[in-house]
Structure 1
Amino acid sequence: MRSTMKDLIDENKRELLSDPSAINEIEKKLDDKKAKEVYVDSEFTKE
């Protein structure tokens, strides 16, 4: 049986919601990515 993308996404959401440490890890990665984007952006706007 093939799963649709929506089915796969829904299953991943259920898994994440049952594992708080996974959510924390994802949030940390997103924060790190945002920090890098801000740093890179500020580097390019310097004169």
Structure 2
Amino acid sequence: MEAFMSPPPRGKRWVCRPWKTLPDGTRVYARQYGKRAFCWLVDDE
């Protein structure tokens, strides 16, 4: 997790991956966009 990311809201957590898969199945890598990872919020289990 990046140092500048805010704490997640209650019941959520951050997930970070070096790639993401687009709806058409294409895998896009964060390095192509000058990033180390793509991060998004998911429900905490």
Task: Please classify the TM superposition score into its range, dividing by the shorter chain length.
Answer: under 0.3
Higher relative contact order structure (alpha carbons within 8 Å, sequence separation ≥ 6): 2
TM-score normalised by the chain length of structure 2: 0.20
User: Which structure features the higher share of helix residues?
Assistant: 1
- Relative to the length of structure 1, the TM-score reads 0.20
Larger proportion of strand:
2
